[in-house]
Structure 1
Amino acid sequence: MSEPIIEAENLGIRFVRNRRRQLRIREMFIHRGGRQPHANEFWPLRNVSFQIQSGDAVGIIGKNGTGKSTLLRLIAGVLIQDEGRIKVRGEVAPLLELSAGFSNDLTGRENVHLVGSLHGLSPNYLKRHFDEIVEFAGEQVSKAVDTPVRHYSSGMKVRLGFAVISHLTHPILLMDEVMAVGDAEFRKKCYDTIERLLAEGRTLVLVSHNEGDLTRFCTRGLYFDRGELKIDGTVRDALDAYNNVVRT
């Protein structure tokens, strides 16, 4: 078997709940200006280990606040771990948030060229495919394409972001609740695109609460609870573990 395209070993990241908290003089003396061992800190993920092979479709499952989106950001390199390691062997096409990485001060047209170029799409490619990208995003986006993105709804941002990201040739696709926003027509476009990308051998890591989407696209599931990886098995195994917790 070839090397995993994504590999995590004892992965952990630590957040501070209130980074502006001021230490009292007594605390600074006792702890010599360092952090208190436990005050205001938490680990959204810790001791997480797994491997994902090229072409896998993996669902990340768990309640809100269990580190799912944090894991995608670690894979994308947006966040840096405090413990362990993560190795990603391939470029990543990320759609991790509703804003899709857009600049609110730029128009939709300008953001298509900015985000596309940042991910390696050439100006000529973006020029040739611009109409196709906007058409995919829908009529509402098409009418507002020369309007600053700050005036877009969250659904419009997602549709335009997905339209751009779907043109990338990167082998790894990261998606965070993308299909939760949009009408039936947009979801069908998403489904068709994801199925095409998977048929091309892309690797998908999908965060979603939608059981239908997870079982449609993913064969494997990682179930997280309180920052720990509890189940690494079939997507059905992970969903059953999640549903058992939700029902209790």
Structure 2
Amino acid sequence: MKTMVKADHVTISYKTGDFKDIGLKEWVVQHARRQFKIEYFMAVQDVSFELNEGDLLGIVGTNGAGKSTLLKALTGVMVPKSGYIQCFGKISALLELASGFDGDLSVKENTYLRGAMLGYTKEFMKNVYDEIIAFAELKEWENRPFKQLSSGMQSRLAFSIASLVQPEILILDEVLSVGDGAFQQKSAKKMKELIYGGAATILVSHSISQIEEMCNKVLWLDHGKQIAFGETAKICSEYCRFLKTN
């Protein structure tokens, strides 16, 4: 079975204490006096996992666990301090609901803009545009400014674009929890179609029931550290016990 994503001992850190906190002049003075110290916040520490075609990985963990940071590294937005990440396929990621959209442009214009940002041609987007708008249920809104959409409508459009551009690797950060129940069910059905088609999917969600229902693998992070990776039922059960006692 083809490997789609491989993360090997990935560590990601943020630099703290730089001159943005104290101003350039004060930084120069402290640096000259050797009083300035650079500190690092370890957002992700020594995380390893591997996904194959058709895998759906659920990432769980409380706030500050490093979930979103890891996703940014998977999409290339951030570079690990050590270790490495390899992705073998076209990635479509939805990390933040409004990212990649211009509030003053129309829904239609934003659809083409988002497609271009994902690396797709105008001709390709023209061929899939009607399907995207129909899935998002926004036909009557396609010529209105994006900023006039409700958060649920924005979510529908963002998910529709991400899932209907034929991704080989789909990365979603707390997306399926936005929108009404009917759209959540439709989104889940679409994700299953992608999985059956061979795509590897990574889903961050605080809904354990959603993870249990959809994912065949789970990665549990806590304060940036990997607690467990493997079978969904076993890890979700352990994670739920952890939440009850903390």
Normalised to the residue count of structure 1, the TM-score between the two structures is 0.88
The aligned counterpart of 2:221 is: 224
Unaligned runs of 5+ in 2: none
Q: Please list, as runs of the form range in 1=range in 2, the aligned pairs for 1:209-220 lying within 5 A after superposition.
A: 209-220=206-217
- Cα pair 1:11 1:45 within 8 Å, conserved: yes
Q: Please list, as runs of the form range in 1=range in 2, the aligned pairs for 1:107-186 lying within 5 A after superposition.
A: 107-138=106-137, 141-186=138-183
- Cα pair 2:174 2:206 within 8 Å, conserved: yes
Q: How far off is 1:18 after superposition?
A: 6.5
The equivalent position to 2:184 in structure 1, one of 168, 187, 211, is 187
Normalised to the residue count of structure 2, the TM-score between the two structures is 0.89
Unaligned runs of 5+ in 1: none
The aligned counterpart of 2:21 is: 21
Q: How far off is 1:111 after superposition?
A: 0.8
Deviates more, 1:143-152 or 1:19-28: 19-28
- Cα pair 1:5 1:54 within 8 Å, conserved: yes
Q: Please list, as runs of the form range in 1=range in 2, the aligned pairs for 1:25-174 lying within 5 A after superposition.
A: 27-31=30-34, 36-38=37-39, 41-138=40-137, 141-174=138-171
CA 1:155–1:221 in 2, change beyond 3 Å: closer, same or farther? same
- Cα pair 1:46 1:227 within 8 Å, conserved: yes
- Give the match's secondary structure for 2:172: strand
Q: How far off is 1:60 after superposition?
A: 0.5
Give me the whole-angstrom Cα distance separating, in 1, the residues matched to 2:177 and 2:234: 22
Give me the whole-angstrom Cα distance separating, in 2, the residues matched to 1:210 and 1:7: 25
Give me the whole-angstrom Cα distance separating, in 1, the residues matched to 2:8 and 2:128: 40
Q: How far off is 1:25 after superposition?
A: 5.8
Give me the whole-angstrom Cα distance separating, in 2, the residues matched to 1:194 and 1:174: 11
- Give the match's secondary structure for 2:31: helix
Give me the whole-angstrom Cα distance separating, in 2, the residues matched to 1:177 and 1:149: 20
- Give the match's secondary structure for 2:176: helix
Q: How far off is 1:101 after superposition?
A: 2.2
Q: How far off is 1:49 after superposition?
A: 1.8
Q: How far off is 1:13 after superposition?
A: 1.4
CA RMSD after TM alignment: 2.1
**What amino acid sits opposite 1:21 in the alignment?**
D
Q: How far off is 1:17 after superposition?
A: 5.3
Deviates more, 1:159-168 or 1:22-31: 22-31
CA 1:37–1:237 in 2, change beyond 3 Å: closer, same or farther? farther
Percent identity among equivalent residues?
32
Q: How far off is 1:155 after superposition?
A: 1.7
- Give the match's secondary structure for 2:243: helix
- Give the match's secondary structure for 2:104: coil
Q: How far off is 1:31 after superposition?
A: 3.8
Give me the whole-angstrom Cα distance separating, in 2, the residues matched to 1:78 and 1:202: 21
